[in-house]
A and B are shown apart, each in its own frame.
Chain A
């Protein structure tokens, strides 16, 4: 399971940010609705952080003149200088360059990896919640089974059997990650399907698929989107952890996890080799958390 619990119940993290005291709730909700999205401090600082990070990651070749894998054994383990902004590692590779390329790779994998469980979980959760009965029972039992495994244990085990590499990471994260979306969407659908507009659509003779796609999904998808922000963080952590264990993208490709692994042997003398890649992960996590919190405030006025 995850830092972000898989059961999004009110009052628990990952679901709704802490509830306000009942008295204050109404007026604060009003104030929130009145605010536009660009005046949300959390959201804006999150977007600012992520914009900078993404520009640096996507435009990595523009911000450095080194090759991330080029070794220079005459210049190993250097400290920061004008030539090497963050110094060099044990093979004389420029740390700043490897950091940029590593972020580029890890962010690409994490952002892509989140799409598959998002889609699969949303569809299955939607079907389970809408039809109920045995379909719901079967899907939810499968969810129970997947949730019984610790998130990292199952991801690591799956990547091991599938063989290390990017494709295995996508498959593993999809197989493990869909359950949270299924639970969130199912819960939302159970409430939404009793609303009058759904009953109206049903009595109007619209097909079930159309009702789910056009009437229900647009109303429940926001919860999944908010959750996906913390899910991306979890995926980045999974990618970095796999890289640390040597189960990620094979060397010499720069990856934040393997950079931390390389640096651990020099912890007592060159602590920056271990610290810097981790700081980059924390920064990304901060940016995405802020965006998630900001989105939650805007998309769920009154509740937050």
Chain B
């Protein structure tokens, strides 16, 4: 299978998922108990306001035509009107996108920087003392609420020692780099146990491969063996693990942005929930799903580019 065929096939697979995602997001409004318009507007709503909302969402029409209306607007870039801010939900969401993208990128980089050395240390001497210490990390890390970890880091690095600001996302490139360090570190630390675990496993697999034995018998050892022969082959599974967990990583940004008061999508989502701003919550949910889908696609493409076996095996 050629490269183009692989890309085309992968894009075709997206179509049913994309449609399904819009159906699910569309249905959110019908999960609201009672009359959605009345519930959203609250007890003080005037009948006129309720009627207007009915009109806007087409709630009087049959379900299929409501979905059609939703899709028609969506394809024209219309996510509805924010009930709280009054403006277009889409432009509101787009203005909150940059901090979230920054946080995702920053924490992925930190997660790799933390996980790769630790996994190498663990794999270099299996069942040794260091291996056991590294393997104990996930046991504690997996049960840690991310926002709680954020408070510990704030207490240690922002309150006790004033290394980093307590909140906000700073201004300018270096300002972002400094302000976003603690939030990104939190997300990265929550992700690291998972990455360390699978990276260690894949390194052990590579260490058992015949080409490593060959390299050893040629006299390659120590650091050189690890960097040239093992790490290169173990890096591809690491990308997959990151890609599989991209949803977890993105989900984690929601609580972290709220703890650190970062003006991103997660903060917008929670604020809109408190304002009962339905269109915005719906829009943010959709944008989060699109982000996961696109990042997974990108990871698959990178994976296929790095490892020809992926392209030919399907």
Q: Write the residues of chain A forming the contact surface with B, with a CB cutoff of 8 angstroms.
A: 1-7, 11-13, 17-23, 141-142, 144-154, 156-158, 160-163, 230, 233, 236-237, 240-241, 244-247, 257, 260, 264, 267-268, 271, 274-275, 277-278, 281-286, 288-290, 293
Contacts and interface: CB of A to CB of B under 8 A. Distances in A.
Interface residues of B, number: 70
Contacts of A141: 16-17, 20
- Most chain B CB within 10 A, of A3, A141, A236, is at A3
A281 B148 contact: yes
B248 A21 contact: no
Nearest to A157: B285
Contacts of A12: 198, 201, 240-241, 244
Which secondary structure dominates chain A's binding surface? Answer: helix
Interface of B: 16-17, 20-21, 23-24, 28-29, 31-33, 39, 126, 138-140, 142-149, 151-152, 154-155, 159, 190-191, 193-194, 197-198, 200-202, 204-205, 207-208, 237, 240-241, 244-248, 250-252, 254-255, 258-259, 269-270, 273-274, 278, 281-282, 284-285, 288-289, 292-293
Which secondary structure dominates chain B's binding surface? Answer: helix
A1 B143 contact: no
A21 B126 contact: yes
Given A13-B138, A278-B151, A282-B143, A244 B255 contact: yes
B139 A150 contact: no
B145 A13 contact: no
Nearest to A233: B143
B268 to A, nearest CB: 12
A246 B271 CA distance: 12
5 contacts: A3-B190, A162-B33, A241-B145, A257-B145, A286-B143
Given A142-B20, A157-B281, A233 B142 contact: yes
B144 A282 contact: yes
A250 to B, nearest CB: 14
A141 B292 CA distance: 16
